[in-house]
Structure 1
Amino acid sequence: MKAGSAFAAGLLLATAASAQVWRSDQGDGSYRNPVLYADYPDPDIIRVGRDYYFASTTFANTPGITILHSRDLVNWTITSHLVPRLEGRPQYDLVGGNAYRKGLYASSLRYHAGTYYLANTPVGQNTRIWYARDVRGPWRYHELDRQAFDPGLFIEPDGRAYLATASTADGTITLLTLDRALAHVTASRKVHYIKGAEGSKLLRRGDYYYLFNALPPRLALSVSRSRSLFGPWETRDQIDDTTGGHQGALVDLPDGRWFGFVMEDSGAIGRMTNISPVFWRDDWPVWGTPAAPGRVPRQAAKPIAGHRFAEPATSDDFGGRLLGLQWQWNHNPDPDRWSLAARPGWLRLRPTVAERFWSARNTLTQKGQGPASRGEVKLDIARLAPGDRCGFGTLGQISANLTVTRDANRRARVAMEVTTDRVEGAQTETRATTDLPQGDTLWLRTDMDFTTSRGRVAYSADGVRWTGLGGDFPLAFAWQTGTFQGEQFALFCYAPAWSEGWVDIDSFRLSRLTPSGNAPR
């Protein structure tokens, strides 16, 4: 069977209403990797008492830096975000260009003496040390006098604090000493060199300090150990993307055991996080188990038994006063052009001024879910004005969308458009266009199958009978172009000139598809 035909056949097997696209917790005391089948890159996980917190990169999406919570390292929910908006560049407001692949990168999350700390270096700006008494915020920050790439924060029990930093271009690992307030750098010292190192993480166990570094050129992870933070350091390779992942570190359990977390490049869905048991041999951590050392297991016993299944929210009826934590805007939103209050129970998007989808503000996104998933939205298009371009689809290196318009005679049409971001700029192709039946209610859906890296869109006038438009399209991820994120679901509304129109969105529903190809897990 051809790939396109296999994909189409798989779409017929979508389940009705389950948001549980992927379940890591197997319900029998075991779990399978990844713990979240979605793009949660650059993980940093800490334990505070019985609670685990997981900080993940968000780039130009807002709110920025997602923080998740778990009691067992397997079942995660979103608990907060670090910041409501991005600062420091007009492009974060989509003024004078876009900020895709900029924004907030790898963070380091720590807890000490009743305060949460998070170190982050916004692209092109100095490092900030955020702090809050509650992980849900509000967060405030001290800004340092320099940029520490992918900073790794470490705090001794007596409060002495340090940042480890390295960039792939150099590989030199520098240790910055901070003052007691974590507000100023008081000393800087080069302490180690590992070719291609970045993404440093520091921890201590017994007499040794351990330094973990990602090695992106090899998609590998190294560990170094020393009896002093200032070295000398011994270094060993640990794992790589063929055995589990290439950026991460360890977190301890209350009973003294250790587990590792690591991200793995996973194709169009982006970079997913795996969790692994870790044992110790001669004071070196070894990923996996004594029976199968040196690799992250595909399935293993849960780190902590007895906790129920949980997952980040997905489906939404827009009945709340605030957007759900699963939603993010593609850049800083214009608050005057969207509302949950204008029509209670509906999300209203008013057009922002833009020439095309790639440069449109107020595109509302959430992560694509694997192995294969379907997003379905119900729209009221009664108040679309001529020139308005509103709809639903994907945002990523390749963005495929169903765009709904009205002409001067109020006739509604829908077009399937594919935008591909390249180094020289985004280019858009209109694949197909058709007239819509009379009526103001419209359903749109987007299917993403990450086992075949293919997608498909369809529309319906009644939510029952569906018509595909434009055929299959590819799903893709690359750090050099696109958004530096896996493919996302995207709701949008823009126009080439100021408009008094709008679209109302009644609901978003996520459901599971039967994958057309072989799931990697």
Structure 2
Amino acid sequence: MPISRRTMLEAAALSLAGTAPVRAASPACRDGAAPATGWRPGIEGQRRADLGDGRYLNPIVSGDRADPNVLKDGADYYATFSSFDHYPGIIIWHSRDLVNWQPIGPALRTPIGSVWALDIAKHDGRYFIYIPVFVPPTPEAPSRSPFRVYVIHADSMHGPWSEPHDMAIEGYIDPGHAVGEDGRRYLFLGDGHRVRLSDDGLSKAGPIEKVYDGWPIPPDWVVEGFALEGPKVLRRGGYFYLFSGEGGTAGPPTSHMVIVARARSILGPWENCPHNPIVHTASRTEPWWSRGHATPLEAPDGSWWLIYHGYENGLRTLGRQVLLEPFTWTADGWPKATGGILPGPLPKPRGAVAGAHGFALSTDFAHDTLGTALTFFKPQPGYLERARFGAGGLRLKGQGSGPADASPLAMIVGEPVYRVTVDLEVHDGGEGGLLLFYDDKLFCGVGVTEGKLHSFQGGTRQMWPARPTIAGRRVHLRVVNDREIVTFSYSEDGTHWAQVVSFEVSGYNHNMGGGFLSLRPAIYAAGPGEVQYRSLAFAAGA
């Protein structure tokens, strides 16, 4: 039987990982929820939503892809997600069928702060990304609002993208672009606000106004807060439909939801849907928690779908993952979601040929993967010059005194069970290592200096237990994450392995650490020297 190119790619990636193919893991469903089954393994065993039989199983994109925003552009769909403190940021993904997605690359390389829920728009043949950014006040500017809205633009979704332009919109998050019946452009903003834009879409052209109060959440519902956010405007059948999130995106499993309002004019007034909320996690026993922040989309076959995010039951460390749910229009013109609690496989949208999905995380570092597989956490200006890719691997220049201030290189992982192995060598007093990294205050892992191993837990360097010595500067490190029980091991020859330390990491999530992030495998370089990484091997499954 002929071997497909995809099979050869997967075999090559698994060969690099030093492992046989593994079974893709089913998602954890705790507290009595029935587990979903039937995952179709993709590249390196990673989860693939498309089951190959006309059905799909959520998530459609696994791992930390919070606040999904999707643009339908003819036969193409483009998505991007909150990249927060990771750069290069705003990774753009492409699909033809809403189920299979592949990354194109980053749209933002210049650090401007923590990138939150953004919006993609196309107007008069040009593409725009509206970017809310969180920058904490400083002693030099104590009164400045921590939130600002920027915009970048391009002639193609493949770029090149402009440098970010400050729109002088302060104090608001979650922009949503819309065009009114009069052809004027607007941004809807968090907490029910709206501002008119200039014709070129690059600046505000009027005052910011409160135009919508949201849907009144019943007082006995257990939510994180009111949090009216994520406005997305759809024009259909004589109405403007405003899809929003409420309830908070983390906190209790029952926090988040999708609500809808409509108006005959972009100027309002807005009438709430009688079926609100159209999406809501009502119980902690459901397979997906905190479902919300939806974009409505028409599929190639004319059916309608919501793309939104949610936490996998009991696996907050993976972050908010991308979910796809069908909806219909009622006789009186309101959307009605039909996927229930998303308990298992659903029929796929039709009308388009399925494309490839995902990408390999394993690498020999011969080619630059910044902005797709790897991103720097809170990088300093000039950060791209720290990394040199080539035939000998990645040479990463040291920064800071340890993982907390080294701006580690991290990757998003969407599997409950996986392992990552790296081959590294420290040079000239450098320190490197392998981490599971949430942020600069919350991480664990193993570090290496010449002749010595170190361990980290809870964001601090540990003094116990006793660490083994190593013969030289080169070592192999491995982490196995088995549903939030993680074990770090080392090998001096790449064949014989010894355990260093194990941790339980279920608390390494937003509800403990804040910041809306996820727990990511990461590598780093600290100290005066540099670290050479010759390979990184990833494998998913039990």
- Fold similarity call, TM over 0.5: yes
Matching of residues 237-252 of structure 1 within 5 Å: 237-242=277-282, 245-252=291-298
Q: What is the CA distance between 1:487 and its match in structure 2?
A: 0.5
Output the TM-score relative to the length of structure 2.
0.78
Match of 1:254 in 2: 300
Q: What is the CA distance between 1:285 and its match in structure 2?
A: 1.0
Contact 2:45-2:541 within 8 A present in 1 as well? no
Paired with 2:155 and 2:121, the residues of 1 have a C-alpha distance of 12
Q: Alignment RMSD, CA only?
A: 2.5
Paired with 1:42 and 1:512, the residues of 2 have a C-alpha distance of 25
Contact 1:51-1:71 within 8 A present in 2 as well? yes
Q: What is the CA distance between 1:337 and its match in structure 2?
A: 6.3
Paired with 1:203 and 1:336, the residues of 2 have a C-alpha distance of 39
Match of 1:15 in 2: 22
Contact 1:379-1:503 within 8 A present in 2 as well? yes
Paired with 2:108 and 2:385, the residues of 1 have a C-alpha distance of 20
Contact 2:446-2:454 within 8 A present in 1 as well? yes
Equivalences, count: 457
Deviations 1:469-498 (CA, angstroms, capped at 9, x unpaired)? 122331421156255311011101112xxx
Q: What is the CA distance between 1:433 and its match in structure 2?
A: 4.1
Match of 1:121 among 119, 129, 132: 132
Moved more, 67-76 or 306-315: 306-315
**1:61 counterpart = 2:83:** no
Match of 1:508 in 2: 536
Matching of residues 317-396 of structure 1 within 5 Å: 317-321=364-368, 323=370, 325-333=372-380, 334-335=382-383, 338-341=386-389, 344-354=391-401, 356-361=402-407, 363-381=408-426, 383-385=427-429, 388-396=430-438
Moved more, 154-163 or 438-447: 154-163
**1:414 counterpart = 2:453:** yes
Contact 2:83-2:116 within 8 A present in 1 as well? yes
Q: What is the CA distance between 1:307 and its match in structure 2?
A: 1.3
Q: What is the CA distance between 1:156 and its match in structure 2?
A: 4.9
Match of 2:173 in 1: 149
**1:453 counterpart = 2:481:** no
Deviations 1:372-424 (CA, angstroms, capped at 9, x unpaired)? 1111111234x352xx3211111116411111112xxxxx121221134xxxx
1:352–1:74 CA distance, 2 compared to 1 (3 A): same
Matching of residues 394-433 of structure 1 within 5 Å: 394-396=436-438, 398-406=442-450, 412-420=451-459, 427-433=460-466
Match of 1:29 in 2: 54
**1:108 counterpart = 2:119:** yes
**1:190 counterpart = 2:222:** no
Paired with 2:456 and 2:423, the residues of 1 have a C-alpha distance of 19
Matching of residues 131-150 of structure 1 within 5 Å: 131-140=153-162, 141-147=164-170, 148-150=172-174
Deviations 1:3-30 (CA, angstroms, capped at 9, x unpaired)? xxxxxxxxx9983995232121111121
Unaligned segments of structure 1, at least 5 residues:
1-11, 88-101, 168-172, 407-411, 421-426, 515-521
Contact 2:300-2:349 within 8 A present in 1 as well? no
Moved more, 469-478 or 14-23: 14-23
Match of 2:68 among 34, 43, 58: 43
Match of 2:220 in 1: none
Q: What is the CA distance between 1:246 and its match in structure 2?
A: 1.5
Paired with 2:242 and 2:406, the residues of 1 have a C-alpha distance of 42
Output the TM-score relative to the length of structure 1.
0.81
Match of 1:474 in 2: 505
1:294–1:226 CA distance, 2 compared to 1 (3 A): farther
For residue 233 of structure 2, what is the amino acid of its counterpart? L
For residue 492 of structure 1, what is the amino acid of its counterpart? Y
SS at 1:146 equivalent: strand
Q: What is the CA distance between 1:323 and its match in structure 2?
A: 3.6
Contact 2:317-2:519 within 8 A present in 1 as well? yes
Q: What is the CA distance between 1:263 and its match in structure 2?
A: 0.8
SS at 2:404 equivalent: helix
1:294–1:210 CA distance, 2 compared to 1 (3 A): farther
Match of 1:161 in 2: 185
Contact 1:379-1:442 within 8 A present in 2 as well? yes
**1:204 counterpart = 2:235:** yes
Match of 1:491 in 2: 523
Q: What is the CA distance between 1:42 and its match in structure 2?
A: 0.6
For residue 485 of structure 1, what is the amino acid of its counterpart? L
1:210–1:431 CA distance, 2 compared to 1 (3 A): farther
